[in-house]
Amino acid sequence: MLRALVMPLPARARVRRPGRPGQSSSLARVVSGVVATALALVGAVALAPVAQAAGTPDVAITVGAPTSALRGSTVPVTLTATNPGGPAGYNASFRMVLPVGASLNPPTQTGARTIAQADGSTVVLWDNVSDLLTGTTSSVTAQVSTGTLPLGPLTISGGAYVNTNPRLVPSFTALGAPNAGSSTGSATGTATIEVVPFTLTTDVAAPENELVRGVHDHRTTVELTIDNNYVGPSSAFTVTEYVPATLEFLGCGATAADGDSSAPGEEYPGSGRLNETDAALPGSCPVPSSVSTALVDPPGTQPLAVYTVVTWDNAALAAVGAGSLATGASKKIYYVVGVPQNANALFGGTAPTAASGDQGSNLDNNTGASTLETGEQQATTTAILSGSYLGTTYTDDGTDTVTLEDLAIQKSADHPVIVQGDASRWTLSIEVSEYTSA
């Protein structure tokens, strides 16, 4: 009889409406909407260490958020619950706590309800999102605004709650705290976002991050993007770029301004001079204030080695509109590189002065190892941005890594989306190094 199937209810537990099927966790909803724009989403997405708590099932949770975010920007924060070992959990519900100063943007988000706290923080709740069967995951995402929070760490906490009884939904108090006894399994975790005044990102124009050898035939551009925060202006920008020895810094790739500074004249018989034609640039290319070849240990993870150290002081950046940025503004600058036949080394004898810029577009010191592809050879550029915000100096860095190739193949289609029954044209593009034997 029906009476025999009804279980006693723990205090404050809510009963799932009869007849409502449990949503499969493989189809778990992401209930927030669109991902934040590129300017708002800053830094790689970091997952907080998986947090687990005792319970049945022994649920685990990760709190996924960007490692950093511009002040005043909106970023996605995702709570992901996992049931690695069973038994099956049902009616997964989620809880997120936003500290004072942080808020949802927009204030109302699909599937979520908010409860303001007396201390100014906000609790965000998602009720009965999906079932959490053994070996499955369920997740929710909120768009979180950093508002006018001060610079520094922003910690967001989250929790997931399930019940082994499919008829019982984990519940929360009027203030958003978990109701004791309404869940049989739960877990909590945190993620920390660094709120920053500005950022620098680096992008080497190389399909599939493959750069074909050839300082004449296969020049490419490096894009540096400076993004400012959404609360106030920043100023006094300078940029220092560490170009690895296996890449030749070619300035703006302009015939007149960046002509070949090499004494021998040609890299190999018949190669021609460097920058014999103007490189195609998609935007502003500032003239460096300093170019030097040095044995240095750059900031970050790159090793002590020979680099071409390129500096754009504030005057150089200001000449192209990048010396300072207004609230919410962004600026891209570019320079040109290529893969030479041999890597750069320290100059023997007297080197051109750093201020002259003649250590760039110069093969006189390319006496290092061959760049011939004998294995997976990588090159990482590291750029350091320094600037002033509210009277204090801050820095940020941007890196990008490419592989050096003698043969590169890229595949593309004329349709961005392949639809069943449609015909699409596929293209194989093959690029070959200009160096055939060395």
Residue 384 is classified by DSSP as E
Peptide bond into 57 cis (omega under 30): yes
The domain boundary residue, chosen from 168, 196, 224 = 196
What does the pLDDT average to over 146-159?
97
The C-alpha atoms of residue 284 and residue 287 are separated, in whole angstroms, by: 10
The Cα–Cα gap between 33 and 110 comes to 8
Kindly report which listed range (16-20, 346-350, 428-432) carries the lowest average pLDDT score.
16-20
Q: Which two tokens stand for residue 367?
A: 């006496």
- Residues 316, 319, 320, 323: is their CA dihedral positive or negative? positive
CB of 250 within 8 A of CB of 258?
yes
CATH number at residue 353: 2.60.40.10
**Residue whose structure tokens are 């053994």:** 134
Looking only at the bridges linking them, the beta strands covering 185-196 and 60-70 are parallel
If you search the block for the tokens 């620098």, which residue do you land on? 200
Name the average pLDDT for the chain: 89
Mean pLDDT calculated for residue range 245-273: 90
Amino acid letter, residue 126:
W
The count of domains in the chain is 2
The answer on 205 and 188 residing in a single domain is: no
In terms of domains, do 185 and 206 share one?
Answer: no
For residue 430, tell me if it sits in a domain.
no
Note the pLDDT of residue 14. 40
For residue 87, cis peptide bond before it (omega within 30 degrees of 0): yes
Report the candidate in 312, 315, 339 with the shortest Cα–Cα distance to residue 404: 339
Average of pLDDT values for 168-188? 97
Residue predicted with more confidence, 253 or 6: 253
**Where among 156, 174, 196 does a domain terminate?**
196
Q: How far apart are CA 186 and CA 224, in angstroms?
A: 44
367 and 381 inside one domain: yes
**pLDDT interval class at 32 (50, 70, 90):** very low
- Tell me, what's the pLDDT at 438? 64
Instruction: List the single range of 28-37, 197-206, 423-432 with lowest mean pLDDT.
Output: 28-37
* Residues forming beta bridges with residue 178, ordered by sequence position: 172
27 and 104 housed in the same domain: yes
- Please name which of 81, 138, 82, 76 lies closest in space to residue 109, comparing C-alpha atoms: 76
Which backbone phi and psi does 256 adopt, to 5 degrees? -80, -55
Examine the domain organization and report whether 285 and 320 are in the same domain: yes
> How many other C-beta atoms lie within 10 A of the C-beta of residue 273?
16
Task: Summarize the confidence of residues 210-227 as an average pLDDT.
Answer: 98
Amino acid in the structure at residue 359: Q
202 and 192 share one domain = no
Task: Tell me, yes or no, whether 40 and 148 share the same domain.
Answer: yes
The 10s digit of each residue's pLDDT in 413-427 is 998 888 888 899 999
Domain identity same for 184 and 218: no
Range of the domain at 52: 2-196
pLDDT class of 51 with cuts at 50, 70, 90: low
The residue type at 389: Y
